[in-house]
């Protein structure tokens, strides 16, 4: 299994541009999430999905859209990039087991700079 993959690894955008960060997992996990990581602030939840066709907002959803048309893919869209969205973005997936949700598996991250 490749686990959780993210593309691109690095991206530079100009203010106002839009783009999509890609995330895919091949573990048949039903749960997927997007986090952003800023220095000294840990990771903050942007959006999450509990299954195909179902998404919900996390702690910091403004400026981002998500969709979940398949179990494998969970893209994150930046509608109009702003310098405040400069960050490292992590996608994660997990599955439910007999004892509830299990370990979240994180992708390698996308480092985004908005100028």
Work out whether 64 is an interface residue with other proteins (CB under 8 A): no
Compute the C-alpha angle 67/80/58, nearest 5°. Answer: 45
Which residue of 45, 52, 60, 82 would you call a contact of other proteins, by CB under 8 A?
A: 45
The CA distance from 39 to 93, in Å, is 23
x/- mask, other proteins, residues 1-30, rule CB under 8 A, reads ---x--------------------------
What is the spatial distance between Cα 38 and Cα 93, in angstroms, rounded to a whole number?
Answer: 20
**Residue from the set 1, 2, 10, 40 that interacts with other proteins by CB under 8 A:** 40
Stretch that binds other proteins, among 15-23, 64-72, 77-85, 87-95 (CB under 8 A): 87-95
105 and 93 Cβ atoms separated by less than 8 Å: yes
Rg of the chain over all Cα atoms, to the nearest angstrom = 14
User: Does the protein bind other proteins through residue 52 (CB under 8 A)?
Assistant: no
Return the residue matching tokens 């949700």.
101
Closer residue to other proteins, CB minimum distance, 17 or 27? 27
- The site for other proteins (CB under 8 A) is made up of 4, 31-33, 35, 40-45, 48, 50, 58-59, 90, 92, 94, 96, 99-104, 106-109
């Amino acid at each position: 299994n490749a686990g959780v993959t993210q593309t691109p690894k690095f991206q530079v955008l100009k203010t106002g541009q839009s783009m999509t960060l890609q995330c895919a997992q091949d573990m048949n996990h039903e749960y997927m999430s997007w986090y952003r990581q800023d220095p000294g602030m840990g990771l903050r939840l942007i959006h999450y999905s509990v299954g195909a066709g179902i998404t919900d907002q996390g702690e910091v959803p403004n400026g981002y859209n998500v969709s979940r048309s398949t179990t494998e893919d969970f893209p994150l869209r930046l509608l109009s990039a702003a310098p405040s969205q400069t960050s490292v973005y992590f996608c994660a997936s997990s599955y439910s087991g007999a004892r509830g949700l299990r370990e979240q598996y994180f992708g390698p991250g996308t480092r985004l700079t908005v100028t």
